[in-house]
Structure 1
Amino acid sequence: MIKSIPEWSEQEYLMLSLPHEKSDWKPYLDEILQGYKEFIKAVSEFQKVLLIAPKKSDFAPFENIPNVEFFVCDTNDTWIRDFGAIDILENGCLKALDFTFNAWGNKFQSQLDNAVNSKLFKEKFKEELKKIDLILEGGSIDFNGEGVMLTSSHCLLNENRNSHLNKTQIDEKLKEIFGLKQIIWLENGFIKGDDTDHHIDTLARFITPNTIAHCICEDEKDEHYLPLQEMKKELEETGFNLVELPLPKPLYYENRRLGATYANFVFINNALIVPTYNDEKDKIIIQRLSKALPNRKIIGVDARVFLRQNGSLHCSCQNRFKGPR
């Protein structure tokens, strides 16, 4: 029996791939490393963190943070949510799945990132890693833990991923791989500045088995307003409880609008880390999620620098769950 795992399940590690001098972060490396440091410090109070980087010297800013381990491995980029192994339950034991990563439709170099899992599981975890012949990113899917998956048609059905498969074939394949009874395919919604072809973790996420938190836009003149209204209508038809996450005011870097979204939050043991953007809505979002998740501590972490490379907090990490393997 196969079962998908919701992200609020108990974790052994939160894994992160660090920015480094050979990555696209080089022009503002000190700034993003400070952002990672604040994020990692917040997480390490609750659970272990595993950091991945090409050289031991890359770990220097983090060596005095407790609850942190290190693994040396060459990488192209930092968005381990999309190339990191994805855990499932198979007959009560955790199994790690290694999908093919092609950098969101061959937009960037990805050979090193696509090889991280093999090296990590061989040298660090010393356990079996099951290779799956399918292009899939972790940020494009989200589970409620009871057999339902949430995704975006624009991403999973994009010709730059698995063009040899149609929607029915992909639906059936994912149901088999993750032990699903239902896939919710959202046809609407986007976040300007996201270059992943509409990853679901920028738009709508399960926060309990029966509740979805989703983005909305309150400015009728904003280009997000209508697409997110249409997405909301789709979600209302699912029968799940809904929590609205209004977008912050537009943020720009070098005259380019950045993909600021509160849906890119991160579940960790006993807490939820929420990206913040120095916006008046930061407090509103934290209060709203605190009400929806009364048994978790809700913590805000400034994610503005993360946005410069088109991601946020959830994109930067991957969960390794705790349990028998």
Structure 2
Amino acid sequence: MLVPPAQVDAARSALQFDSNSLSRGKIELVVAETNDSWVRDYGPTFVFDGEPTSRKMVGIDWRYNAWGGKYPPWDADDAAASAICDHVGINRIRSSLCLEGGAIETDGKSRLMTTPECVVTNTRNPGWSREQVASELHTQLGVTEIVWLSGGGLVGDDTDGHIDQLARFVDPENIVVAVSDDAEDPNHEPLEDNYRQLRRWSDATEPNVEIHRLPIPLAREINGQRVPESYCNFLMLGRDRLLLPTFGQKESDDRAIGILSDLAHDASIEPIDCRDLVWGLGALHCASRDQPV
């Protein structure tokens, strides 16, 4: 848990830590200044470097500018990856690419999904071509195949179309993709386009991938603003647990639980009410940065 220095005592008290301790049970406090809560986007991307017999964990520290300069200041967030790598005790590689963690989704092996609208832009990477972006992703992550989804993002999403709201690997053989069953929803056609693109790609990639529809809930507004609710923003905890954002719509929540229960093998599905969290325009995946064992 990232905690700013000024809030360490409050965090210790809230979590009932010993007055001098930074850890209790399975919770550990990492003291670092931040500007925002969405550590998925500014935290390091953990990779393994080297041969299988001698590989070491490394943190890729991408440049970060708060989703294309939307929300200054962002200097503390941009420095957080370095603090996390120091805390974990691993080497850090600083990339020249401006990239949020929610903009990329991999199968943990060689395939990666992203969208051009939140990477190949003048607000993040002026002068970079798609080919140059792809080359940096290949170099830093070791991926060999990149899928560029260009259908569009969710209404109300301020990330310009992060993939973690649109399509996710449940495992290397299965992808869930956000769709809207409401033909009148402005999200309907863009999400259908993403689905069609993934279906075409799945027929050509090796090994094959199954594409599964994961319908979003009905449109909801807070203070007159559409919030980007998607069940794709789930968080896998190893192979045993899947934390699923829910949005107070029983029919669609239950449907999402059923779909992921069928796909997540033996993992338990744990619904987490995210109706308040999504007012910040993100959910569970956005608020976390997973580190491999």
TM-score (norm 2): 0.89
Kindly state the Cα deviation for residue 167 of structure 1 after the two structures are TM-superposed: 0.7
Shift in CA distance, 58/254, structure 1 to aligned 2, threshold 3 Å: farther
Match of 1:27 in 2: none
Kindly state the Cα deviation for residue 155 of structure 1 after the two structures are TM-superposed: 1.1
Partner amino acid, structure 1, of 2:289? Q
Instruction: Answer with 266-275 or 53-62: which moved more.
Output: 53-62
SS across alignment from 1:89: strand
Match of 1:111 in 2: 75
SS across alignment from 1:263: helix
Kept after mapping to 1: 8 A contact 2:59/2:85: no
Kept after mapping to 1: 8 A contact 2:104/2:112: yes
Match of 2:145 in 1: 182
Query: Where does the alignment leave 5 or more consecutive residues of structure 1 unmatched?
Result: 1-49
Match of 1:68 in 2: 27
Match of 1:293 in 2: 264
TM-score (norm 1): 0.80
**Matched pairs, number:** 272
Q: Distance in 1 between matches of 2:16 and 2:145?
A: 43
Kept after mapping to 2: 8 A contact 1:51/1:68: no
Is residue 203 of structure 2 the alignment partner of residue 236 of structure 1? no
Matches for 1:227-266 after TM superposition, within 5 Å: 227-239=190-202, 240-266=209-235
Kept after mapping to 1: 8 A contact 2:221/2:227: yes
Q: 1:149 aligns with which of 112, 119, 137?
A: 112
1:49-98 residue CA offsets vs partner (Å, 9 max, x unmatched): x3433421341333378421112221111000000011111112211111
SS across alignment from 1:169: helix
Match of 2:163 in 1: 200
Greater RCO structure (CA 8 Å; 6+ sep): 1
Kindly state the Cα deviation for residue 163 of structure 1 after the two structures are TM-superposed: 1.4
Match of 2:38 in 1: 79
Match of 1:224 in 2: 187
Q: Distance in 2 between matches of 1:61 and 1:215?
A: 36
Partner amino acid, structure 2, of 1:117? A
Shift in CA distance, 77/177, structure 1 to aligned 2, threshold 3 Å: same
Q: Distance in 2 between matches of 1:61 and 1:251?
A: 32
Is residue 19 of structure 2 the alignment partner of residue 56 of structure 1? no
Q: 1:121 aligns with which of 71, 81, 85?
A: 85
Kept after mapping to 2: 8 A contact 1:216/1:225: yes
Kept after mapping to 1: 8 A contact 2:43/2:84: no
Alpha-carbon RMSD: 1.4
Q: Distance in 2 between matches of 1:126 and 1:146?
A: 24
Kept after mapping to 1: 8 A contact 2:2/2:32: no
Is residue 134 of structure 2 the alignment partner of residue 134 of structure 1? no
Kindly state the Cα deviation for residue 135 of structure 1 after the two structures are TM-superposed: 0.5
Partner amino acid, structure 1, of 2:172? P
Partner amino acid, structure 2, of 1:282? D
Shift in CA distance, 281/143, structure 1 to aligned 2, threshold 3 Å: same
Is residue 173 of structure 2 the alignment partner of residue 210 of structure 1? yes
Q: Distance in 1 between matches of 2:4 and 2:219?
A: 32
Partner amino acid, structure 1, of 2:77? D
Kept after mapping to 1: 8 A contact 2:114/2:146: yes
Q: Distance in 2 between matches of 1:53 and 1:251?
A: 33
Kindly state the Cα deviation for residue 184 of structure 1 after the two structures are TM-superposed: 0.2
Kept after mapping to 2: 8 A contact 1:273/1:298: yes
SS across alignment from 2:36: coil
Kept after mapping to 1: 8 A contact 2:115/2:148: yes
Q: Distance in 2 between matches of 1:61 and 1:89?
A: 35
Partner amino acid, structure 1, of 2:32? C
